[in-house]
A and B are shown apart, each in its own frame.
Chain A
Amino acid sequence: MTEGRFDCIKESQGSIKQEGKSFKGGHMKKILILSLACILVFGFMLSCAKKVEEAPPPPPQVKEQPEVEKVEEPAPPKEPELTEEEIFMRKSLEEINREAAIQMIHFDFDKFFIRDDAKPVLEKNAAWLKKWDSTQILIEGHCDERGTEEYNLALGEKRAKSTYDYLVSLGVSTNRIKTISYGKSQPIDAGQNEIAWAKNRRAQFTIIAK
């Protein structure tokens, strides 16, 4: 605030000096101009003084600037909530298969009967298949490397078929299941030990339609 006042004085002095320089014409003119200048200076000083006295606190700067209105995106229309089925249908077959909704089961060496530990897995699988009743699956029968190529292809098919029979007995429709045998051509563990072999003797599921 004090700074503002100082500026006023300085400026008025400057203006007197200028007037003085131009005083070289007639006397009257000189007086007239001088008086005019005096009035001007006085008036100016007055106005300055008045300012000092009456200067209200300057408005806060924010108020001096134009008010900014933030443009917000209008709320989009809200999508109706998806049903579980719609979410399912949106997924690709690869995604569904990757999520491994249907778990594989394992078999004993040289055997194709459904083991007791595989039954609850197949029950879960059957429940899933009944829930998503438009899906179709492929049961792949696999074997470990300790059987011959030809006999393993036949054994893999029997493993797929006994898995098929079990799912059908749990109420899954026959026209939704296909079977195939890979024999020992697609091991999931290349190891040559009991753990690897046990992993490789399996019936694996692929969802082929939804």
Chain B
Amino acid sequence: MKKKEIFLYGSLLLLVALLLPAQQEVYLSIKEGMPAIPLAIPPFIVHESSSKTQEAAEILHQTLSDDLKYSRIFQELPESYYSYIRPLNPKQIFFKDWESIQAKILFVGEISEDDGNNVVFEGKVYDVKAGRGIFGKRYQANQSLIRLAAHKMADELLRMWGEQPFFTSKIVFASNRDGNWELYMMDFDGHNQIRLTFNKVTDYMPAWSADGKKIAYTSYQGANAILYVLEIYEGKRHEVYSKGTSFAPAFSSDGRRLAFCSQEEGGNSEIYLATSEGKGIRRLTFNKGTDTAPTWSPTSRQIAFTSDRGGTPQIYVMDAEGSNVERVSFGGTYHDAPAWAPTGDRIAYVSRVDQIFDLYVLNLRTKQIIKLTEGSARNESPCWSPDSRHLIFSSNLNGTVQLYSIDYDGKNLRRLTSRGENKLPDWSR
């Protein structure tokens, strides 16, 4: 009797689920243009001062301060303000002092060394107006990992503010710094650049899996441009597709699927879909035009891509099953490399006008377009930060092709690479 009931309810639920209309994309908006929160980060207090702890304190302070500035959420007070008030005493904080120099948040950092020669970094965050602590965090790190400790602390501050933390995220990219094109990885700020692939052939167009443990990429093995998935922390690699030239991989945000491009019999590039393990491959687009550069919506329900089915390369959006194709880019004759922002409301892409490539951001709700870069260079391959406030892209604006970071509003352009040529970045989630 009971079993029957359960079965009945179960099937009823299934029916309801099936009847529910396909959910619309949920757009999260970021608070653009809001004033940044004034934050005081006075120099860190060093206990058991030694050259090691002093140096660590400086690196930690600089890294944390750079991260928070980069976030666009916080605005660090000028250091000169700290001389207007009594020096900081972590045991007795005069909140009125900090309020008088316009600080809303006070970060107090203390550095010491433990028995195992590790640096101990303790941070306390105070709400100045309320005059009380919000949270505290203590990290213990070996000298070589102190930047990571600062990034983790910065992540905590973003989390506290209800923002998406991303200071420990990684950028994977292709570089020819050691001869041929190989894959490399670095921190979001350009530090810790390390090589991932070691061979004599071209390894190209990497893309992160949702969990940040796998990278899909194209490797030119003799007569084949094969799509592989590399488990970077296991050192294992397996083949996904080897027919034709297989490229432009993109893992879905839910981590379950992998979209990529390859050729059908006629040599025409089409979009294919596989599981995240590279199994169960099926074709998603069927037409005479070139279909390429897939990018997933954050809900994994839609895919934006480039197609020249209308005569010129333009950006289109379709359901992840290949239906409901809709053109979303207008007003140009050459659009490519769409990148769907993790907030879901925008797509960044490249537009070519008179041999100049610039980045644009299309707002899917308002259909408004913002031009992100301005110059006489080739700005290419945009990818979004996990919080959708920053983009990394490649550009030859200083001669050679290098990676640059820019904010969603075109501000804070900065260069991240310099050795060899560097391109095709992808930002881990």
Contact = CB atoms under 8 A, between A and B. Distances in A.
Interface of A: 138, 145-151, 153-158, 160-162, 164, 178-182, 185-186, 208
Interface of B: 181, 202, 204-205, 220, 222-225, 244-245, 247-248, 261, 263, 266-269, 290, 292-293, 306, 308, 313, 334, 336-337, 350, 352, 355, 357, 378, 380-381, 423-424
Most buried by B among A145, A154, A162: A154
A160 B224 CA distance: 13
A182 B292 contact: no
Contacts of A179: 244-245, 267
Given A145-B378, A182-B220, A158 B181 contact: no
User: Chain B binding site: helix, strand, loop or mixed by DSSP?
Assistant: strand
Nearest to B204: A185
A164 B220 CA distance: 19
Given A157-B244, A157-B245, A158-B290, A151 B336 contact: yes
A147 B267 CA distance: 18
Contact of A157 (B267, B334, B355, B424): B267
A150 B223 contact: no
Contacts of A151: 290, 292-293, 306, 308, 313, 334, 336
A124 B141 CA distance: 67
Given A157-B267, A161-B267, A149 B245 contact: no
A148 B261 contact: no
B86 to A, nearest CB: 56
Contact of A180 (B220, B334, B337): B220
Contact of A150 (B224, B336, B378): B336
Contacts of B350: 148
A180 B293 contact: no
B263 A157 contact: yes
Contact of A156 (B222, B245, B266, B357): B245
Given A145-B378, A158-B267, A181-B225, A150 B244 contact: no
Contact of B267 (A145, A149, A160, A182): A160
Contact of B269 (A146, A148, A153): A153
Nearest to B423: A149
27 contacts: A147-B352, A148-B352, A148-B381, A149-B380, A149-B381, A149-B424, A150-B205, A150-B248, A150-B306, A151-B290, A151-B313, A151-B334, A151-B336, A153-B261, A154-B292, A155-B290, A157-B244, A157-B263, A157-B267, A158-B268, A161-B266, A161-B268, A162-B267, A181-B225, A181-B245, A182-B220, A185-B181
Contacts of B205: 149-150
A102 to B, nearest CB: 15
A75 B187 CA distance: 73
A185 B247 CA distance: 13
Contact of A182 (B202, B224, B337, B423): B202
B77 to A, nearest CB: 42
Contacts of B181: 185
Nearest to A159: B267
